[in-house]
Amino acid sequence: MKDKLNKMLEKYPAAVFKNRKEHIIVKEADSEQPQSITANTRTVPGIITNRGCCYAGCKGVVLGPLRDAVVLTHGPIGCGYYTWGTRRNKGRTEGDELNLLNYCFSTDLQEGDIVFGGEKKLRQAITEAVEIFKPKSIMICSTCPVGLIGDDINAVANWAQKEYGIQVLAFSCEGYKGVSQSGGHHIANNGLIKHIIGTGERAVGKYSINLLGEYNIGGDGWEIERVLKKIGYDIVSVMTGNGTVEELKNAHMAQLNVVQCHRSINYIGEMMQTKYGTDWIKVNFIGIKSTMKSLRDMAVYFDDPDLMARTEEVIAEEFSEIAPIMEEYKKICQGKTAALFVGGSRAHHYQLLLEDLGVETVLAGYEFAHRDDYEGREVLSTIKEDADSKNIESLDIEPDSTHYRVVLSQERLEKIKDQIPLNYYEGMMKQMKNGSLVVDDLNHFETEELLKILKPDIFCSGIKDKYVAHKAGIFSKQLHSYDYSGPYAGFKGAVNFARDIAMGITTPSWKYVIPPWKTQPMLEGSLIGGK
């Protein structure tokens, strides 16, 4: 496999070859010297990357799913639509609550605004939003041209807050800031911890948690909440799928933070641990076995026999309902192979759900991960400088004098630290099979070449690269918005995913797609000819 990879990479110019070689590794047998991968570096100019930008991470991922806030894009309409129309964040309201997810708010900057400045148009947009929707909060997210022309969105936010008496926050998340989407996650996390979390005082229940890094794509969050509430958890807030600013204000009151997507939300998990003493635990509600493990880990943290018993009751009840159906789908999927190139933590999470179906993952990678997402958090101490730190503020967080508390005693922490992933994430690579490929920031050329080499039955990806696989006659499941399906989380979500995968790989349409390498003679220097 290494020889094939090197032949592929040798098609690059020498400088690019050296760069990309560090981003593609073959998982080898465990040894005293753990494998390392280069990640969170800027994409080589000229390469067609599948990454999103800093603005997409801030507005599109973290802030966009908040249903009660006007999340206003200050920039061209294309930026606003890109982070709105393709995400499929779902939201429900109760009573007369606002649900603004159906609206794409943008200042729609034109050429004249770029030349003469867009602050006037931003003030006008805020005025219209207040008059029409009467929101309690507005969040301004800036795009590339705004940073280039120098519009002062913080000054406009201060003006609007005084003018209308509501909370108006500015997020300077221009697309070129940071390495990729992860920089935008960081900016959004900073804003939430500085201005929103800790400003409420709602009473919480016995088993109170925040669900972090869950964005309710296709209804995932609702399915996770259904199971958690069935067990007896009080979900104080969700960051941020189907979430609200009003709920986030009370997040500091919860006893435990439950982290689904490590990359997009680990910043808040760490900052809340320092500021409020709230421990966080890495969970994965994608996959049957992984959902069971996550629920049991949460019960261990609270150390309550009644909660543990109720957890086992719910697991048994949920599993008995879906087991026969999953077995039927497994008969169809057993023995297939899959390649995963997805954002967030999905390239790790979905390996476990595919494993439930008997599908082997032969390649997995992230668009915008950091090394700890691959190798585990123990590598953080070895990273000299975060590549995002030049342009993105790193907050100096201290314990809150009013709300900081110790939830678990030191004795209890020592007892459970080897049982559950408390304040820790092991990364994706440790669970992958030897011989499989790990790829960071996969680009268009490499996608085509690796599909030729590996010939997976399934390629799980995002909207930008799914059609590369389709043209190669390979079924591609889009895991950023689920292609209008879902939910895929939890027990019932696993059945939905199994159904969609079984349908996708058995449809007869793929036999009518003939990729070029099956008909054209092998070219000199190419990796493979016909299948």
Q: What is the pLDDT of residues 312-347, one digit of tens each?
A: 999 999 999 999 999 999 999 999 999 999 988 999
Q: Is 267 exposed, middle or buried (0-12, 13-18, 19+ CB in 10 A)?
A: buried
| pLDDT confidence of residue 387 | 66
Model confidence, pTM: 0.94
Rounded Cα distance between 313 and 227, Å, is 11
pLDDT tens-digit readout, 216-264: 999 999 999 999 999 999 999 999 999 999 999 999 999 999 999 999 9
First-residue to last-residue Cα distance in the chain = 17
Q: Which domain holds residue 131?
A: 54-195
Task: Look up the CATH number of the domain holding residue 106.
Answer: 3.40.50.1980
Eight-class DSSP state of 524: T
pLDDT tier at 47 (50, 70, 90 boundaries)? Answer: confident
Rounded to whole angstroms, how far apart are CA atoms 299 and 288?
17
Most confident of 16-20, 82-86, 503-507: 503-507
Q: How confident is the model at residue 3 (pLDDT cuts 50, 70, 90)?
A: confident
d(CA 499, CA 477): 12
Is 188 a domain residue? yes
**DSSP classification of residue 493:** H
Average the pLDDT over 479-498 and give the result.
Answer: 95
Query: How high is the pLDDT of residue 383?
Result: 85
In this predicted structure, the answer to whether residue 200 has a pLDDT above a threshold of 60 is yes
The structural domain count of the chain equals: 1
Distances (CA, A) of 454 to 5, 219, 528: 11, 32, 11
Decide if pLDDT at 523 tops 50: no
- Catalytic site positions: 53, 56, 87, 185
Q: Cα dihedral angle (319, 325, 330, 333), rounded to 10 degrees?
A: -130
Q: Per the structure block, which two tokens stand in for 213?
A: 């890094």
Is 63 part of a structural domain of the chain?
yes
3-state secondary structure of 422: strand
Say whether pLDDT at 106 is over 80.
yes
Q: Is residue 146 part of a domain?
A: yes
Confidence of residue 521 (pLDDT cuts 50, 70, 90): low
At residue 530 the predicted structure's pLDDT band, cuts being 50, 70 and 90, is very low
Rounded mean pLDDT of the chain?
Answer: 92
pLDDT at 389: 67
Position 360 scores a pLDDT of: 98
- What would the DSSP string read from start to end of 13-47? -HHHHHHHHTTEEE-----SS------S-PPPTTS
C-alpha closest to that of 191 among 406, 372, 26, 393: 393
Closest CA to 263 of 33, 501, 52: 52
Domain-embedded: residue 158: yes
pLDDT of residue 522: 47
486's CB contacts (< 8 A; 6+ apart) are: 88, 217, 218, 219, 220, 493, 496
Do the Cβ atoms of 304 and 266 come closer than 8 Å? no
- Identify the weakest region by mean pLDDT among 111-125, 224-238, 389-403: 389-403
Task: Return the pLDDT at 515.
Answer: 77
Mean pLDDT of 196-224: 96
Neighbours of 152 (CB within 10 A): 15
Tell me: pLDDT of 97 over 90.
no
CA dist 415 → 319, 376, 420, 502 (Å): 29, 21, 10, 43
How far is residue 54's CA from residue 83's CA, in Å, rounded to a whole number? 11
Please report whether residue 144 resides in a domain: yes
Q: What is the pLDDT of residue 369?
A: 94
Phi/psi zone of residue 423: left (φ > 0), alpha (ψ -120 to 50 degrees), beta?
left
Residue 368 resides in a domain: no
Q: How confident is the model at residue 28 (pLDDT cuts 50, 70, 90)?
A: confident
d(CA 304, CA 263): 30
Average pLDDT over residues 419-425: 95
What number is the average pLDDT over the span 487-513?
95
pLDDT for 526 beyond 50? no
When comparing pLDDT for 527 and 365, which is higher? 365
pLDDT band, very low/low/confident/very high, at 529 (cuts 50, 70, 90): very low
For residue 388, pLDDT over 90 is answered with no
| pLDDT of 511 higher than 90 | no
Mean pLDDT of 131-144: 97
Q: Name the one residue in this structure whose structure tokens are 């004795």.
A: 411
Residue 147 maps to a domain? yes
Closest CA to 50 of 514, 515, 460, 473: 460
Assigned domain for 173 exists: yes
The secondary structure of residue 432, as a DSSP letter, is S
**Average of pLDDT values for 81-89?**
83
The average pLDDT across 460-488 equals 91
Q: Which residues are paired to 237 by β-bridges? A: 210
DSSP string, 130-176: HHHH--SEEEEEE-HHHHHHT--HHHHHHHHHHHHSSEEEEE---TT
The per-residue pLDDT for 86 is 73
- Residue 239's closest CA among 406, 82, 136, 89? 89
Q: What is the arithmetic mean of pLDDT over 430-456?
A: 93
